[in-house]
């Protein structure tokens, strides 16, 4: 027992983790009746838990809709584990800041938590820590110049259930996949931004030659928040925003990792 910082925290199967959090709750149901003396009692309730971890790197170990066993430990060997399903993955590039490419993963209960776990991490971060400089964004083969930041947000609307077979805890089935994205640029020419409402083959580069592929991205704002300011001397620029469309006429698209692995359509 005691208070410790998480200098040696680890998540099994996840490399270069920066941190993690778990929240377990009960929807405890109150009752009032003729014999409760106007005081609320509680006995029943279903248990659920959600979690999040954040890492360096451009390709998460898991993808929305994947099931896995979350196992995490603290620096003193205490920890927890439980069956889970991935709900959301967000990948961030901050070129203007010269920051590392990083991602955040949200997941949810697909089994009970137990308060014991083991976890193995890689001994060195080489190969996982990637810089954002030298990256770029293309739409339909055209590169948008002067990019400062990018974000790719992929999520799965997993469907929770509690039944007579789930022992008072929430379980989940894989739901429908969707995604959103944004790219901030200081390109001064508004005609250089993707055409609004068009479908584009998108590529989010993680280095000079490899990239996330999203087919297709439907542009919902372009350029958004576009303009300049005499007094603050801000660069003229704007943001492109859009959402995923997995289908174009009779064609089916894809979401593909920088390693060339097709994550959607689901295998």
pLDDT tens readout for residues 22-46? 999 999 999 999 999 999 999 999 9
Let me know if residue 225 belongs to a domain. Answer: yes
Which residues does 71 contact at the CB level (< 8 Å), separation at least 6? Answer: 11, 12, 13, 79, 80, 81, 117, 118, 119
Let me know if residue 142 belongs to a domain. Answer: yes
Q: Does 124 have pLDDT greater than 80?
A: no
Its domain, for residue 168, covers: 10-24+46-117+125-264
pLDDT (mean) for 16-20: 93
Q: Does 241 have pLDDT greater than 90?
A: yes
For residue 67 the two structure tokens come to 């099931």
Segment 243-256, tens digit of pLDDT: 999 999 999 999 99
| Residue-averaged pLDDT of the chain | 94
Q: What is the DSSP letter of 191?
A: G
pLDDT (0 to 100) of residue 191: 96
Give, in order, the Cα–Cα distances in Å from 131 to each of 27, 91, 153, 250, 266. Answer: 43, 13, 19, 38, 29
Q: Does 4 have pLDDT greater than 90?
A: no
CA distance 86 to 79: 20
Q: Does 153 have pLDDT greater than 90?
A: yes
Let me know if residue 77 belongs to a domain. Answer: yes
CA distance 263 to 55: 19
Length of the chain: 267
pLDDT (0 to 100) of residue 265: 98
pLDDT (0 to 100) of residue 121: 78
Let me know if residue 5 belongs to a domain. Answer: no
pLDDT (0 to 100) of residue 246: 97
pLDDT (0 to 100) of residue 8: 78
pLDDT (0 to 100) of residue 251: 97
Q: Of 27-36, 112-121, 135-144, 211-220, which gets the smallest average pLDDT?
A: 112-121
Segment 157-186, tens digit of pLDDT: 999 999 999 999 999 999 999 999 999 999
The domain tally of the chain equals 1
Indicate the pLDDT class of residue 1, thresholds 50, 70 and 90: low
pLDDT cut 70: percent of the chain above it: 99
Let me know if residue 39 belongs to a domain. Answer: no
Give, in order, the Cα–Cα distances in Å from 49 to each of 13, 93, 165, 170. Answer: 20, 29, 18, 8
Cα–Cα nearest to 255, from 145, 161, 180: 180
Let me know if residue 38 belongs to a domain. Answer: no
Segment 67-96, tens digit of pLDDT: 999 999 887 778 899 999 999 999 999 999
């Amino acid at each position: 027992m005691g208070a410790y910082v998480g200098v040696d925290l680890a998540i099994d199967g996840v490399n270069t983790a920066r941190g993690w959090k778990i929240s377990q709750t009960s929807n405890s149901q109150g009752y009032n009746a003729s014999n409760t003396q106007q005081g609320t009692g509680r006995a029943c309730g279903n248990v659920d838990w959600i979690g999040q971890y954040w890492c360096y790197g451009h390709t998460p170990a898991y993808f929305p809709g994947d099931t896995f066993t979350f196992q995490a430990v603290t620096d003193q060997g205490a920890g927890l584990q439980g069956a889970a399903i991935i709900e959301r993955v967000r990948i961030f590039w901050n070129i203007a800041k010269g920051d590392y490419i990083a991602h955040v993963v949200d997941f949810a209960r697909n089994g009970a938590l137990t308060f014991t776990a083991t976890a193995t991490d890689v001994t060195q971060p080489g190969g996982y820590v990637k810089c954002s400089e030298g990256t770029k964004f293309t739409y339909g083969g055209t590169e948008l110049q002067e990019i400062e930041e990018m974000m790719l947000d992929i999520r799965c609307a997993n469907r929770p259930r509690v039944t007579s077979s789930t022992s008072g805890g929430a379980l989940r089935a894989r739901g429908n996949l969707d995604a959103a994205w944004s790219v901030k640029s200081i390109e001064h020419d508004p005609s250089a931004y993707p055409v609004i409402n068009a479908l584009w083959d998108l590529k989010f580069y993680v280095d000079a030659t490899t990239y996330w592929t999203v087919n297709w991205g439907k542009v919902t704002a372009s350029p958004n928040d576009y303009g300049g300011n005499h007094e603050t001397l801000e660069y003229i620029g704007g943001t492109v925003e859009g959402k995923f469309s997995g289908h174009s006429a009779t064609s089916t698209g894809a979401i593909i990792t920088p390693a060339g692995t097709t994550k959607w359509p689901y295998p």
